[in-house]
Amino acid sequence: MRIVVLTGAGISAESGLSTFRDADGLWEGHDPMQVATPEAYDDDPALVQRFYDERRAALSRVEPNAAHVALARLEAALGDDLLVVTQNVDDLHERAGSTRVHHIHGSLRSAWCTSCDERHLWDGPLADRPPCPGCGDRALRPDIVWFGEVPYGMDVVERALWSCEQFVSIGTSGAVYPAAAFVHWASGRTLELNLEPSMGASDFAESRQGPATHLVPVWVDEVLGDGGPNSS
Ligand code: APR
């Protein structure tokens, strides 16, 4: 793997999706512990479902921004030599044209049946407890990795990091593990692109500050102009 990119909420901020750790410590008006844990779901499934239904519906009101588009351009040039690992549950990477996106925290556009264990592409609400298209049970939950649950596909991510030439972290505060540790697992050069220095900024060989819609296209131009397939 030549390049591994990790993205967080900051890359989608300029598309209009709020980040998790805004100044007031709330996420869309909620304490994350009241909507993003298995315990919260057990206590009040309707509240949690409504919260994610709103997040899912909000996806249709936002568009990918220049940072998502730049990463899709990089994939078009590098193919298998790029892996985008995202903590985001939105679908803005895919809508920008990226196809190799690894959602370690799950996806809003997926519903998981806790009865038959099948996952289904999902665009509508879940709060009204629709039946699972597979087994018919009314046991669909958001396919989101909540606090205390195990992120998806870490074996794939670990292998990619161990062999990468470059690891780039974009728009993440570095507050949540295991993603915050990726910089330590990466074999290659490390770069952070973030609005402000993240908690782990000093662990990176280089840290650049600014909005993702500016920093990411500039970095992609650098990669493609420096030994990339588009360089002459
Ligand atoms: N461009 C670049 N970076 C930005 C921008 C922007 N326009 N706007 C905000 N940022 C940065 C912030 O400075 C912050 O460091 O993005 C980061 C967002 O951090 P968080 O809100 O903590 O989001 P993230 O790191 O993705 O959270 C990780 O925490 O709650 C869990 O599962 C949830 O996936 C999430 C995880």
Q: What is the pLDDT of residue 26?
A: 66
Q: Determine if residue 173 is labeled as part of a ligand binding site.
A: yes
Q: Give the pLDDT confidence score for residue 28 in this predicted structure.
A: 72
Please give the Cα distance from 232 to 224 (Å, whole number): 10
Nearest alpha-carbon partner for 214 in 65, 87, 8, 93:
65
Q: Are 79 and 154 in contact (CB under 8 A)?
A: no
CA of residue 127 to ligand 1 center, whole Å: 27
What is the rounded distance in angstroms from the CA atom of residue 115 to the CA atom of residue 129?
A: 13
Burial readout 124-159 (b: 16 or more C-beta within 10 A, e: otherwise): eebbeeeebeeeeeebbbbbbbbeeeebeeeeebee
Is 171 annotated as a binding-site member? yes
Write out residues with Cβ below 6 Å of ligand 1: 8-10, 13-14, 19-21, 32, 87, 105, 171-173, 175-176, 194-196, 198, 211-212
Under 8 Å between Cβ of 199 and 175: yes
Greatest extent of the chain over all pairs of C-alpha atoms, in Å: 59
Write down the pLDDT at residue 22: 67
For residue 174, report the distance from its CA to the centre of ligand 1, in Å.
8
Report the pLDDT value the prediction gives residue 232, as an integer from 0 to 100.
Answer: 45
- Show the tokens assigned to 184: 């330590």
Whose CA is closest to atom 30 on ligand 1? Answer: 20
- The gap between the terminal CA atoms of the chain, to the nearest Å, is 23
Burial 61-84 (b: 16+ CB within 10 A, else e): ebebbbbbbbbbbbbeebeebbbb
Q: Contacts by 160-165 with C-beta closer than 8 Å and gap 24+?
A: 160/1, 160/4, 160/83, 160/85, 161/1, 161/4, 161/185, 161/186, 161/187, 162/187, 163/1, 163/187, 164/1, 164/2, 164/3, 164/4, 164/188, 165/1, 165/2, 165/3, 165/189
Cα–ligand 1 centroid distance for 19 (angstroms): 5
Whole-Å CA distances, 165 to 3, 5, 44, 190: 6, 11, 45, 9
What are the mean pLDDT values of the chain's consecutive 10-residue runs (232 residues total)? Answer: 94 92 70 91 96 96 98 97 98 98 98 98 97 98 96 96 97 92 96 95 97 98 72 46
Question: If you take atom 26 of ligand 1, which residue's CA is the nearest one?
Answer: 8
Token reading at 110: 């997926």
pTM of the model: 0.94
**Is 164 labelled a binding residue?**
no
* Residue 71 is assigned to a ligand binding site: no
**Residues forming the active site:** 105
Contacts of 172 by beta carbon, 8 Å cutoff, 6+ apart:
6, 7, 8, 9, 10, 87, 179, 180, 194, 198
